[in-house]
Amino acid sequence: MSTRANGEGLSTLEASQPSHHVRVAIASLIGTAIEWYDFFLYGTAAALIFNKLFFPTVDPMVGTLLAFATFGIGFVARPLGGLVFGHFGDTIGRKTMLYLTLLIMGLATAAIGLLPTYDTVGVWAAALLVACRLIQGFALGGEWGGAVLMAVEHAPSHKKGFYGSWPQLGAPLGLVLGTLVFSIVSGMMSNNQFNAWGWRLPFLFSMILVIVGLWIRFTVAESPEFQKIKDTKEYARIPIINAIVTHPKSILLAMGARFAENGFFYIYAAFVLAYATQALGMNKQDILNGVLIAAFIETFTIPAFGALSDKLGRRPVYIFGAIFSAIMSFPLFMLLGTKSPPLAWIAIVLGLAVGHAAMYGPQASFFSELFGTKVRYSGVSLGYNLASIFAGALSPIIATWLMSTYKPATWPISVYMMILALITLVSVYFALETRSGMTNDK
């Protein structure tokens, strides 16, 4: 049964509850924003302070590399989270999994705010930090698939790209919120106070956000497309195996499509902070402001590109984003090299709000439409999270290593970024256009 039929089957619900899909999209957006706040907060802290608190006995650049390594460890746990929550999301339901992922993420983030540092417990501080990061990754691995499927499967058939982009807004909003809270707290106290205890406040603030997010998610209904599967009891017995057997090409192409989107995002959102402050000696607040501006603008460009994919197709919009990102790989460091905050902001805004947004906007609907309803949670979670290990987890580490090895030259980092873009271009080129409807329910 194709999704074109599914979309027609939902027409009665859409007609009787014309605002229902909007409410679901908003609930998905708020939940993902909270989850990404938790996840990105760690990246900001890894770039600016964790090297001093958890790895103070090594060279500052080595400490930053180790901090980014713990940042990357969170990505390793994401496929496991995708497998576990994907399985139960395809058998029990999307909605229940979203409660659990949000709660687990919030508890892990708050725990980071309570951790002892190296000065108190030595190397055990880093071990506890890694444990919390692994739990964060596990939760986020299950969050994304459920959130985007709730939005896409509730959306009208001709606006899946637009409404599917709403939970995608959680990433820039989470980045805005995390960067803003980090900036406000660090700006309200001296460096000594911030290093001693102030850095903990943004992490502890997470629990307040989680309570709000849980309450909002209780107000939405289960996905109507999954509800049909539940009513007829036509579950896939082992969804992840079914997804691999019936959609192996889709999983691989979804992975490849993520390389530029995911890798570039963490270069802009995490590595650039370390590069600008440590290699160029720029003011920390100036660069945080640039990331903040770019993420804010991206909250408008992501849904715009999502809506555009409903008109032009998912592939053309996605390919544009990959090409634009590749073109920006050299100008990024040229503009940063001027050490001018406004020019640095332009580089970050173009990279995130144009290049990344053009890929991230249509991504939810694009990936969802590659899989049938019975295995969709497992399929999208596997493709999405496996790519995170090789793209988002490694990009700040590889970029930092290249910066350290070839300094002051930045062209090796730009070449690495272009390779990421090439992998995405090839993958999207060989993927099917999915705008006309989702894959058959297998």
For the whole prediction, is pTM greater than 0.85?
A: no
Answer whether 317's CB lies under 8 Å from 343's CB.
no
CA dihedral 380, 414, 182, 139 (to 10 degrees): 20
Nearest to 284 by CA among 293, 295, 276: 276
Report CA 121 to chain centroid distance, whole Å: 32
Q: Give the dihedral sign, CA 52/54/59/63.
A: negative
Q: What is the pLDDT of residue 437?
A: 55
Structure tokens at 100: 């659990």
pLDDT of residue 17: 52
The pLDDT tens digits for 286-315 are: 888 898 899 899 999 999 999 999 999 999
Which candidate, 42, 32, 221, 261, places its Cα nearest to that of 142? 32
**From CA 165, how far away is CA 401, in angstroms rounded?**
33
- Can you tell me the distance from the alpha carbon of 387 to that of 389, in angstroms, rounded to the nearest whole number? 5
pLDDT reading at 68 higher than 80: no
How far lies 417's CA from each of 46, 151, 337, 410, in Å? 21, 31, 17, 11
Domains of the chain: 3-430 (1.20.1250.20)
Q: Is the pLDDT score of 336 beyond 50? A: yes
CB-CB contact of 275 with 436 (8 Å): no
How far, in Å, CA of 210 to CA of 176, rounded? 17
Report d(CA 384, CA 82) in Å as an integer.
Answer: 9
Asked whether residue 438 carries a pLDDT value surpassing 80, the answer given is no
Query: What pLDDT is attached to residue 1?
Result: 36
Worst-scoring range by mean pLDDT, 58-62, 91-95, 243-247?
58-62
The conformation of residue 220, written as its DSSP 8-state character, comes to S
> If you average pLDDT over every residue of the chain, what do you get?
84
Report d(CA 159, CA 154) in Å as an integer. 10
pLDDT greater than 90 at residue 45: no
- CA dist 90 and 236 (Å) reads 8
54 φ, ψ (degrees, to nearest 5): -115, -15
Report the C-alpha gap between 305 and 311 in whole angstroms. 10
Give the model's pLDDT for residue 58: 65
